[in-house]
Amino acid sequence: MNLPFDYERLTLGEFGGTTPIPSDFDSARVVILPIPLDRTTSYVPGTRTGPHEILIASSHMELWDEETGTDVHGIGICTLPEMEFPFATLEEVMQEIRRVATELVTREKFPVILGGEHSITAPVVAALAARHRGLSVLQIDAHADLRDSYMGTPHNHACAMRRSLEYGHVTQVGIRSMSAEEADAAPGLNTTIFYDAMMRQDPQWIDRVVDSLTDPVYITIDVDGLDPAIMPSTGTPEPGGLSWYEMLALLRAAISRRTVVACDVVELSPIPGLVAPNFLCAKLIYKVLTYRFGTLSP
Amino acid sequence: MNLPFDYERLTLGEFGGTTPIPSDFDSARVVILPIPLDRTTSYVPGTRTGPHEILIASSHMELWDEETGTDVHGIGICTLPEMEFPFATLEEVMQEIRRVATELVTREKFPVILGGEHSITAPVVAALAARHRGLSVLQIDAHADLRDSYMGTPHNHACAMRRSLEYGHVTQVGIRSMSAEEADAAPGLNTTIFYDAMMRQDPQWIDRVVDSLTDPVYITIDVDGLDPAIMPSTGTPEPGGLSWYEMLALLRAAISRRTVVACDVVELSPIPGLVAPNFLCAKLIYKVLTYRFGTLSP
Amino acid sequence: MNLPFDYERLTLGEFGGTTPIPSDFDSARVVILPIPLDRTTSYVPGTRTGPHEILIASSHMELWDEETGTDVHGIGICTLPEMEFPFATLEEVMQEIRRVATELVTREKFPVILGGEHSITAPVVAALAARHRGLSVLQIDAHADLRDSYMGTPHNHACAMRRSLEYGHVTQVGIRSMSAEEADAAPGLNTTIFYDAMMRQDPQWIDRVVDSLTDPVYITIDVDGLDPAIMPSTGTPEPGGLSWYEMLALLRAAISRRTVVACDVVELSPIPGLVAPNFLCAKLIYKVLTYRFGTLSP
Amino acid sequence: MNLPFDYERLTLGEFGGTTPIPSDFDSARVVILPIPLDRTTSYVPGTRTGPHEILIASSHMELWDEETGTDVHGIGICTLPEMEFPFATLEEVMQEIRRVATELVTREKFPVILGGEHSITAPVVAALAARHRGLSVLQIDAHADLRDSYMGTPHNHACAMRRSLEYGHVTQVGIRSMSAEEADAAPGLNTTIFYDAMMRQDPQWIDRVVDSLTDPVYITIDVDGLDPAIMPSTGTPEPGGLSWYEMLALLRAAISRRTVVACDVVELSPIPGLVAPNFLCAKLIYKVLTYRFGTLSP
Amino acid sequence: MNLPFDYERLTLGEFGGTTPIPSDFDSARVVILPIPLDRTTSYVPGTRTGPHEILIASSHMELWDEETGTDVHGIGICTLPEMEFPFATLEEVMQEIRRVATELVTREKFPVILGGEHSITAPVVAALAARHRGLSVLQIDAHADLRDSYMGTPHNHACAMRRSLEYGHVTQVGIRSMSAEEADAAPGLNTTIFYDAMMRQDPQWIDRVVDSLTDPVYITIDVDGLDPAIMPSTGTPEPGGLSWYEMLALLRAAISRRTVVACDVVELSPIPGLVAPNFLCAKLIYKVLTYRFGTLSP
Amino acid sequence: MNLPFDYERLTLGEFGGTTPIPSDFDSARVVILPIPLDRTTSYVPGTRTGPHEILIASSHMELWDEETGTDVHGIGICTLPEMEFPFATLEEVMQEIRRVATELVTREKFPVILGGEHSITAPVVAALAARHRGLSVLQIDAHADLRDSYMGTPHNHACAMRRSLEYGHVTQVGIRSMSAEEADAAPGLNTTIFYDAMMRQDPQWIDRVVDSLTDPVYITIDVDGLDPAIMPSTGTPEPGGLSWYEMLALLRAAISRRTVVACDVVELSPIPGLVAPNFLCAKLIYKVLTYRFGTLSP
């Protein structure tokens, strides 16, 4: 906002806060798109405020990354307003998300989608796949999300990856909950599954995950893929899951060996009074950006 | 459950708890039907656990009513399991609710519906109106809910009463929030509105409310009609609203002067750790039953 | 933000949300200035997130006011970013608030300040008093805030009104907590005190409050002036206090009989998970604007 | 604690905090005795931390009372450590409470008991009745607590007043929940019941309450006698109940027309993050002391 | 419940929810018995709602176990109503629990007890030991619970294992808190203690634990044996403790090498708003059943 | 307090509770000093209640340490009242803390400081350094806290260690967040930094940390140095960090190889309803005392 006078200020809703100055859309390399869709989540309500709380938390992060010795924010990070959906059907919601994601992709932006429930992933993958031949998807998640339909709709979050693999191969990491139907269907689908229990017994699991990915790669992080110890704020918090440093190691490996073209972080259901999980999501996104663009920063 | 042995027990999910013994369906005069629908609520998530928390609270009420000197539970109160909705569209959900409500009505039960969001009211009113010619609706609510369509659907909770008045006259009590579009439409609709601010200046408002009701009457209580002081646990808690004793006086007058044939209590969004609003809902329902059937009790 | 494409959106941090379209600074008659200062609050921490939560809540209000039959938002309401304070001392903070408030006043805006703790009132009153000769202050508050110094500083929130009355007469309403020192000092100060207990026994108290005000008037609302039943979210929630309708009646009377030139709402300490008090603050501000400017709206 | 050096300090657990200086036992006229007994409470757990939270809150009160123009703390208020119960049975607990209460009574102290559950009242009343012939009890409560036995013990909180009336007449105020058994038994017991619903229709109820009391008087305040709007922090929060100013008016009348010799405040179950009800209890106690001893203060 | 009509439904209080159909008592191999006893817990109140929250959570689990490739629910799981205790003394409570447990044992059921506090374990062990000669107990716990008497009773939860070892050898795992008295007594008792700190330095601890167990085995899981990172919802959350996968490995080893005949999960004190620990308990129980009966499932 | 009668009691605010008997100041070897300073903390409010909650939690610990087989409380632990600050400036606060710390040091006490925010460390270090030539500081922390000035003051918690290293070398452990300015400045400062990410790859990091320390040593533990899984209750909870057993191993090594002369635990911001982090702090302090003085205990 242009003011005829000035003062030290903080604008709500900018990833990374307002210091020094957030990028405008045209000059930004990275665009944060919040999509607080919350229609089908089952146990604990509340992904609707997820993007909002991630943005609030992000303004309290340091922008310097001590691991890589870089400050990636200089590449330009622009945060868009939250999408709203005055549409009747999930089908139309999915089309609108795909349209907006396509707008970003055609302008050469690196989209970071903030969910909202996992069903938003499929239309974003569709937009990316239309642009990038051979796109594969790296999914970190407790749940396979491979149901063909659930609660009467193919767009339920429990179907998120069944929909996504219409556009490319999916590698699923941290899986520790699925239905008998999904277990039956999985061998016939274009997916590679890394079960959480088995990852614990395979020191090479990260390499094997990256080996399974074609290039380029879309990363979708359902926060319930993480250990509930550090991520209780999600609808169905399954015990087990990735630690913070396992997650970072996986992201570092995937980004260094493949071209990552976009990512999303979904299914954060903030718990009132508990900010640590929200802060973790903000920092996780900044780590992705640092690994992806850190060497480009001035 | 039949056990080959016995012990003192509490079964979750029976209105009024398990003492002395809950009624079976056939012998019950009153049937509690929980419908935890939660799709379109806008500000605060959480009507999904509303029916559940009301039932938990109800097991801690005294069954004796000191105001009337009666214990109404002897007429038979049967609590049904929660409805679930494996359907694709709100349209189908509404049809299913109407079907189940019709089953109750045709068996001469007095249905008490526990929401869930306000959109469940219209199909229940439809079922009642099909049975009871001349049915009118008494709505206690902060919001007029008269939008013709909202967020792309005619079944949004913001349209609950616009849908309901397709089946009969509606008297709206406690209204203190509406859109310009609703204000424009209201004069042409089959409703009588008692604005909360004006009720404060009219000592006769209760009589005038009942005068406006044809016979018989369906009562729908959106809990946000109450003062947020006693009902903070709702999606859009508008300041102002009815006190506990105003609510009782209104219910007592309506039930004594009209034949009330069913009711619902909707839009409770329980706040973790705060049981008072849940308990209030349980007692409110028991007061309705006491006023309605207290003289019939053994 | 200008985008080369469009979508339905919600921007965090606009009072009243994004529908239809928030005003820009130049065309706005009303300017919302969030000042989340939180240095000296004593019992419960947390006024820092007060402005933020009021803005979030405000996007869920209806913009139509059913009491007056107006929609005041058309006069132009512009929300500024939150002030931040990279200064060493409270003295400097106070100077900066006064400077920014003066910028607003000289541009003929109607400032609505969102606190933050009560100490922000004095510098805003200073800015107003420099512009409006004869300015008086209407304070709604549980505490007299008349200490000359507290915790070692004259800028503590417990001194807010002692500082403010350096610029004009103060009428204090809802007072129900003060120290012996304040009680001793009060008779010698330029204040009129309406004790909460005595207001309960005087049906004319509102008229008498307005009679005591010179013209024009600055209104400062410490939310703890309200009954903790509807306002538990504050640092020292004193039992007793104004109801919602008493507050509205007072504001309506003051605005109709005096020229109100600015106002603030301070000391909201949001409780995680409890939105009703935040929503009340949003609606309270909209009521002030409606009473003040409702007849001007298109 | 005697230190060889000094500093500004706050000691946890002193009623009214540490300013100026809490009384020692011998010079104190009033003795605060915390009894955090919590064995039989049924719906919401948590009276165990009630006394503790009241003491914390009390250190944030002003010690000046603006209603009476007095500062009563000068009469001497001494806070004892919390009682603990390394005993096997409730019977023994009751005996120990009676013994300690007797110690206070024989030393001419004015005991203020902080519960804990309501079952602690009976042994304190026993101690007082042994000293003061003709003692009656003024009980403010939502529940009659007249069961002869509950959950297998005569010392359950649901039997608190049935036990107490073994020692004198009881006047019960604010009653709005009782069992059929209690309703049957009440006419044969030495009690006078003021039902909450009927109090609403009788402008003289306070006078009639005081008329029913013999002299001297013990006051027991179950916090659930208050409206859950201002007192949600209790095990079974019954809608209805006394407002803050009704409570004060009743206490003022009782204390001015009878000799009050002790009191208790019981059944506070603090809700984490919600301090208003705790603060109300602290202030309620200070009001009792002000009305009782205010004219004696220096 | 038999209804003359049908609909999709969810019944509160069935372990694993209502899909496909819960077993009746006679055909069930496993019987879930909730015992929400909550009398002596010391720091944080609230084990009373533990069983209830575990059952709610269990209806959101997948019934397929991806680790073993089985769906064990087909063996028949029947959930009994909660036990209530209208008895005067803990002694009588213990006798009643033993009686009900004996009813289950004599009918060849596999009992899964949901606590409630740890004191419920001893009478269940007594019932099992009467049936199974040579029974030993595997206890996972932060506390030794070896006091002979505490707070005046031998049935306090701090004495749970001292009581249990009257019926057989106890192996204690995860111990990291005990009193000097317990440390003195331990060498003379029929227990084997695996201290948590030492387990961290012994890669063979699981084998050694199982070696110490005679056959058959009763497993008692005090949830505070787990790391507070994943189990903050307990009365005295001691830092350290078992991870999720350590717990699973221990259970897998014990069940594969010994005949486990019953188990309990106790001391869950649900924290309002935090479902992850409740969900963990539900899944933990399902893992025990999967390891125990998975190969038997159809 | 001396009473003319006796009973079993618990006094709030004694570290370790009241069993057997807390030490008086003169005979105590260890002195606990609570300093609930809370002025500059940035994201989540609330260090003000940190010391208080640690003391409450400490009364629920066992005093026996099963790891070392000792009960250290016999050396004498005395808990002082909370410091309060009726001073105008942070500068004066810092001087007062230094003065009080000096009083303890000159009396040969082992001070344990409970924060409050991290800015209290510098004046305590100053007091220690004046007494102990060659003092170095072991800091466990997520943040380097090496800013020279922040928010306009050199006493902000973000500057805590920049101030402290004016008095001696600082070894920083667990660091995973810093600004570009701090990264630039660090090489020129008298610090050794162990970054959290690098510690994960260096099995010898504990030895190397202790090697870097001169003798004697002051230990400052910012609780955010711990993994947010076990320590969510802090202002800026950075993912990663030390586990409980890593923390104990570091403390054990440092205390066995160096002379530790004092310590502090700071930045605990208790979350209402979540006691595990508070309890962890209490036990952490008792572990420090056990490692330091355990062999001296009777």
Say how far apart CA A235 and CA A141 lie, in whole Å: 12
pLDDT digits (tens, 9 = 90+) for E9-66: 777 778 887 666 678 899 999 999 999 988 765 566 688 889 999 999 998 899 999 9
Of A177, A227, A240, the CB nearest to E62: A177
pLDDT above 90 (res C275)? yes
| CA E222 remoteness from chain centre | 7
Q: Does A124 score more than 60 pLDDT?
A: yes
pLDDT at C217 over 50: yes
Distance from A279 to chain F by nearest Cα, in Å?
Answer: 7
User: What's the CA gap between D243 and F293, in Å, rounded?
Assistant: 56
Chain centre to alpha carbon of residue D108: 18
Considering only CA atoms, give the Rg of chain D.
Answer: 18
Give the closest-approach CA distance of D70 to chain C in angstroms. 8
**For the packed helices B121-131 and B90-106, what is the interaxial angle rounded to 10 degrees?**
40
Does residue B193 sit in helix, strand or coil? strand
CB-based contact (8 Å) between E273 and chain A? yes
> Inter-chain contact A276–F197, Cβ cutoff 8 Å?
no
Chain segment D212-265, per-residue pLDDT in tens: 999 999 999 999 999 999 999 999 999 999 999 999 999 999 999 999 999 999
How far apart, in whole angstroms, are the C-alpha atoms of residue B114 and residue B105? 16
> Using CA atoms, how far apart are residues E195 and E161, in angstroms rounded to an integer?
15
Question: What residues of B are in contact with residue E85 (Cβ under 8 Å)?
Answer: 8
A67 part of contact set with chain F, CB < 8 Å: yes
Question: Which residues, in sequence order, are bridge partners of residue C218?
Answer: C137, C262
Contact F279 E237 (CB under 8 A): yes
Q: How far is CA F99 from the centre of its chain?
A: 18
C88 touches chain F (CB under 8 A): yes
Closest CA to F47 of F98, F124, F121, F149: F121
Sequence-ordered strand ranges (E) for chain F: 9-10, 30-35, 77-79, 82-83, 110-115, 136-140, 170-175, 191-195, 217-222, 260-266
A92 shares contact with chain F (CB less than 8 Å): no
Chain D residue nearest residue F46, CA to CA: D273
- Subunit contact B67:D197, Cβ cutoff 8 A: yes
For residue E297, pLDDT over 90 is answered with no
Span C71-128, pLDDT tens digits = 999 999 999 988 987 655 788 889 999 999 999 999 999 999 999 999 999 999 999 9
pLDDT of F7 strictly over 90: no
Neighbours of chain F (3+ CB pairs under 8 A): A, C, D, E
Inter-chain contacts counted by CB atoms under 8 A, chains B and E: 82
- C228 to chain A, any CB pair closer than 8 A? The answer is no
pLDDT in tens, D30-53: 999 999 988 765 566 688 889 999
Buried b or exposed e, range B35-58, using 16+ CB within 10 angstroms: bbbbbbbbbbbbbbbbbbbbbbbb
pLDDT tens by residue, D103-133: 999 999 999 999 999 999 999 999 999 999 9
Q: What angle do CA A238, D45, D246 make, to 5 degrees?
A: 130
pLDDT per position as a tens digit, F260-296:
999 999 999 999 999 999 999 999 999 999 999 987 5
Percent of chain E with pLDDT over 90: 73
Of F43, F230, F240, the CB nearest to A244: F240
- Segment E261-282, tens digit of pLDDT: 999 999 999 999 999 999 999 9
Confidence of residue D154 (pLDDT cuts 50, 70, 90): confident
Q: Which residues of C touch F89 (CB under 8 A)?
A: 89, 152
Residue F67 sits at the chain E interface (C-beta within 8 Å): yes
Q: Which of D61, D66, D248 to mutate to test the interface with C (most CBs of C within 10 A)?
A: D66
B244 touches chain C (CB under 8 A): no
User: Does position B150 have pLDDT exceeding 70, yes or no?
Assistant: yes
Distance CA D267, CA D43 (A): 12
Strand duo A191-195 + B136-140: pairing: unpaired
Task: Determine contact: C271 vs chain B, CB below 8 A.
Answer: no
The pLDDT of residue F298: 42
The two structure tokens encoding residue F144: 């380097």
Distance CA E176, CA E197 (A): 7
> Which of E31, E12, E4, E27 has the alpha carbon at shortest distance from E289?
E31
Q: Which residues of A touch F229 (CB under 8 A)?
A: 227, 229-230
List A79's β-bridge partners, or say none.
Answer: A32
How far apart (Å, rounded) are the C-alpha atoms in residues D270 and E67? 43
Instruction: Report how far Cα F225 is from the mean position of its chain's Cα atoms.
Output: 11
Query: What pLDDT is recorded for position D48?
Result: 87
What is the DSSP pairing of strand F170-175 with strand F260-266? Answer: unpaired
Contact B237 C63 (CB under 8 A): no
Query: Which among B57, B64, B275 has the least Cβ separation from residue D178?
Result: B64
Inspect the interface and report whether the beta carbons of A3 and C25 lie closer than 8 Å.
yes
Most D CBs within 10 Å, among B61, B66, B286, to test the D interface: B66
Q: Residue D258 in contact with residue D210, Cβ under 8 Å? A: yes
Across B235-239, F47-51, F112-116, least confident range = F47-51
- The answer to whether D257 faces chain E, any CB pair under 8 Å, is no
Separation CA C171–CA C175 (nearest Å): 10
Quote the radius of gyration of chain C (alpha carbons, Å). 18
**Residues 99-118 of chain B whose Cβ lies under 8 A from any Cβ of chain E:** 99-100, 103, 107
Between chains, do E87 and D38 touch, taking CB under 8 Å as contact?
no
Over residues A158-170, the pLDDT tens digits come to 888 998 998 999 9
* Residue D123 contacts residue D97 (beta carbons within 8 Å): yes
Contacts of C291 (CB under 8 A, 6+ apart): C68, C251, C252, C255, C256
Per DSSP, the three-state class of F70 is: strand
Distance CA F262, CA A117 (A): 49
Contact E90, E163 (CB under 8 A): no
D297 touches chain C (CB under 8 A): no
Reply yes or no on whether the pLDDT at A196 is more than 80.
yes
Q: Tell whether ipTM is more than 0.85.
A: yes
pLDDT over 70 (residue F40):
no
Name the residue among F12, F84, F273 with its Cβ closest to that of D13.
F12
Q: Which of C98, C169, C174 is nearest to C137 (CA)?
A: C169
Residue C298's pLDDT is 42
E68, E275, E284, E290: best to mutate for the A interface, most A CBs within 10 A: E275
Please report the pLDDT score of residue A88 as a whole number: 58
CA-based nearest distance B196→chain C, Å? 9
- For F174-202, what is each residue's pLDDT tens digit? 999 999 999 999 999 999 999 999 999 99
For chain E, the straight-line distance linking the first and the last C-alpha, in angstroms and rounded, comes to 27
If DSSP states are collapsed to H, E and C, what string results for chain A?
A: CCCCCCCCEECCCCCCCCCCCCCCCCCCCEEEEEECCCCCCCCCCCHHHHHHHHHHHHCCCCCCECCCCECHHHHCEEECCEECCCCCCHHHHHHHHHHHHHHHHHCCCEEEEEECCHHHHHHHHHHHHHHCCCCEEEEECCECCCCCCECCECCCHHHHHHHHCCCCCEEEEEECECCHHHHHHHHHCCEEEEEHHHHCCCCCHHHHHHHCCCCCEEEEEEHHHECCCCCCCCCCCCCCCECHHHHHHHHHHHHHHCCEEEEEEECCCCCCCCCHHHHHHHHHHHHHHHHHHHHHCC
Q: Which two tokens stand for residue A67?
A: 């691991």
- Per the model's pLDDT, the better-predicted residue between A281 and C5 turns out to be A281
Query: Given an 8 Å threshold on Cβ–Cβ distance, is C86 in contact with F153?
Result: no
pLDDT at position E298 is 42
The model's pTM is: 0.94
Amino acid present at E281: C
Residue A225 CB contacts under 8 Å (≥ 6 apart), including other chains: A140, A141, A142, A173, A174, A241, A242, A247
- Rounded to the nearest 10°, the torsion over CA E166, E172, E177, E178 is 30
What would the pLDDT profile of B167-203 be if each residue is shown by its tens digit? 999 999 999 999 999 999 999 999 999 999 999 999 9
Whether the per-residue pLDDT at B296 is higher than 60: the answer is no
Whether residue D295 is predicted with pLDDT greater than 60 in this model: the reply is yes
C277-290 CB burial, b ≥16 within 10 A, e <16: bbbbbbbbbbbbbb
The answer to whether C39 contacts F38, with C-beta atoms less than 8 Å apart, is no
The amino acid at C233 = S
Per-residue pLDDT, averaged over E190-216, amounts to: 96
User: How far away is chain D from the Cα of E38, in angstroms, using its nearest Cα?
Assistant: 8
Rounded-to-integer distance, Cα F262 and Cα F284, Å: 14
CB contact under 8 A, D152 and E38: no
- Predicted pLDDT at E171: 98
pLDDT at F58: 94
Instruction: Please state, in angstroms and rounded to a whole number, the distance separating the CA atoms of residues F124 and F94.
Output: 9
Contacts of C67 in chain B (CB under 8 A): 195, 197
Other residues' Cβ atoms within 10 Å of the Cβ of residue A207: 12
Q: What is the pLDDT of residue D297?
A: 43
Whether F88 sits inside 8 A of C152 (CB atoms) is yes
Beta strands in C21-115 (DSSP E): 30-35, 77-79, 82-83, 110-115
Q: Is the pLDDT reported for residue A174 higher than 50? A: yes
- Grade residue F297 by pLDDT with cuts at 50, 70 and 90: very low
Neighbours of chain A (3+ CB pairs under 8 A): B, C, E, F
At residue C47, the 3 state secondary structure works out as: helix
Question: Can you tell me the distance from the alpha carbon of C169 to that of C164, in angstroms, rounded to the nearest whole number?
Answer: 9
The answer to whether residues A51 and A82 touch, using CB atoms and an 8 Å cutoff, is yes
Q: How close does chain A come to F90, measured CA to CA in Å? A: 22
DSSP E74-112: GG-EEEPPEE----SSHHHHHHHHHHHHHHHHHTT-EEE
E232 touches chain F (CB under 8 A): yes
Which residues of C are less than 8 Å from F153 in CB distance? Answer: 88
Q: Do A152 and B86 touch (CB under 8 A)?
A: yes
Residue A20, C-beta contacts closer than 8 angstroms, at least 6 positions apart: none
Strand A82-83 to strand C9-10: parallel, antiparallel, or no bridges (unpaired)?
Answer: antiparallel
Contact between E43 and F60 using a beta-carbon 8 Å cutoff: yes
Question: CA B63, CA D180: separation in Å to the nearest integer?
Answer: 8
Q: What pLDDT, on the 0 to 100 scale, is given for residue A297? A: 43
Looking at chain F, how many residues does it have?
Answer: 298
CB contact under 8 A, A152 and B89: yes
- Whether the CB of A88 is below 8 Å from some CB of chain B: the reply is yes
Q: Average pLDDT of chain D?
A: 91
Which of B21-25, B209-213, C64-68 has maximum average pLDDT? Answer: B209-213
Interface of C with A in 15-34 (CB under 8 A): 18, 24-25
Provide CB contacts within 8 A for F116, sequence distance 6+. F34, F35, F36, F37, F38, F47, F48, F50, F51, F266, F267
Asked if B283's CB is within 8 angstroms of D238's CB, the reply is yes
3-state SS assignment for residue C129:
helix
